[in-house]
């Protein structure tokens, strides 16, 4: 699946880089569409480590920083749009929410046991991560540091991505674990049929991924390093994408 999506991206990039004027503008919409599905694929692969009961653990932030900044950087270099990362991430969030709402309209019952939850419709995925915030920060910051070398840019952009994501996702995770989020829109009360109510997932309890504050701090440092490295890879990858012609 990833190969097909990346191959589609390469074909579109070759056409975008040969196009001019209005034709290029139209093709860039297709380009964003390709990036949206690659971002969704990458985040989706990490799904089992990004459930909301993990969101107060450093492992969660490490996993997200391995998945998202590379696409922020790549799309910002491949596209001429100054809001490239924001557009890509915003489209991803809207599409994700759309799927959430549609799935809840489809009647369904479990056909495989054991069944711990009373399911009457298809179970939607978790509410999308608030990646739109670090994407906006990324687009704002990158315009002001274009004269710096690539590693310095990567360090600043990677740190900005992690800090801004942590600042919004941590309190949002608290909301997702509260009764206020158990409604049709955020859908945190739509648990899979196989989740026992006594588990952290079923009882809306945090599941720690680090046993000590030192381990938490160390893993957050790894998350920062991952954000910087993946941003640097994305910048180089985006530069290659801009040169692609066939």
> How much is the pLDDT for 240?
85
The dihedral region occupied by 204, where left means phi > 0, alpha psi between -120 and 50, and beta the remainder, is: left
Mean pLDDT across the stretch 187-212?
92
Write down the pTM of the prediction: 0.91
> How much is the pLDDT for 8?
85
Instruction: Report whether pLDDT(245) > 80.
Output: no
> How much is the pLDDT for 246?
67
**Token couple for 12:** 């579109």
Strand, helix or coil at 121?
strand
Which residue is it, tokens 């910048």? 235
Band the pLDDT of 186: cuts 50, 70, 90: very high
**Token couple for 184:** 């049709």
- The domain total for the chain is 1
> How much is the pLDDT for 112?
86
> How much is the pLDDT for 85?
95
70: Cβ contacts below 8 Å, ≥ 6 apart: 42, 230, 231, 233, 234, 237
> By CB neighbour count within 10 A (0-12 exposed, 13-18 middle, 19+ buried), where does 222 fall?
middle
The dihedral region occupied by 21, where left means phi > 0, alpha psi between -120 and 50, and beta the remainder, is: left
Helices 150-176, 132-142: axis angle to 10 degrees equals: 160
**Domain range for 21:** 2-243
> How much is the pLDDT for 180?
96
Instruction: Report whether pLDDT(21) > 80.
Output: no
Structure letter (DSSP) for residue 107:
B
d(CA 225, CA 243): 28
> How much is the pLDDT for 237?
86
Mean pLDDT across the stretch 18-42?
86
Mean pLDDT across the stretch 168-186?
96
3-state SS of the chain: helix, strand, coil percent to 5?
A: 65, 0, 35
d(CA 154, CA 22): 31
Q: Convert the pLDDT of each residue in 79-134 to its tens digit.
A: 888 999 999 999 999 999 999 999 999 999 998 889 999 999 999 999 999 999 99
């Amino acid at each position: 699946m990833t190969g097909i999506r990346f191959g589609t991206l390469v074909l579109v990039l070759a056409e975008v880089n040969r196009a001019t004027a209005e034709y290029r503008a139209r093709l860039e919409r297709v380009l964003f569409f390709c990036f949206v599905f690659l971002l969704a694929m990458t985040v989706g692969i990490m799904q089992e480590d990004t459930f909301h009961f993990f969101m107060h653990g450093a492992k969660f932030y490490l996993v997200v920083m391995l998945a998202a900044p590379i696409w922020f950087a790549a799309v910002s270099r491949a596209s001429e749009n100054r809001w490239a990362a924001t557009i890509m991430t915003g489209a991803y969030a809207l599409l994700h929410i759309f799927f959430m709402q549609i799935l809840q309209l489809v009647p369904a019952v479990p056909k495989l046991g054991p069944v711990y939850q009373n399911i009457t419709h298809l179970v939607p995925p978790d509410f999308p991560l608030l990646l739109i915030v670090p994407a906006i920060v990324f687009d704002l910051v990158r315009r002001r540091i274009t004269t710096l070398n690539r590693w310095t840019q990567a360090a600043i952009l990677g740190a900005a991505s992690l800090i801004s994501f942590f600042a919004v996702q941590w309190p949002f995770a608290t909301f997702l674990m509260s009764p206020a989020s158990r409604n049709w829109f955020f859908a945190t009360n739509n648990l899979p049929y196989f989740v026992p109510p006594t588990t952290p997932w079923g009882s809306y309890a945090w599941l720690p991924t680090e046993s000590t504050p030192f381990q938490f701090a160390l893993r957050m440092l790894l998350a920062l390093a991952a954000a910087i490295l993946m941003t640097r890879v994305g910048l180089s990858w985006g530069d290659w994408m801009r040169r692609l012609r066939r």
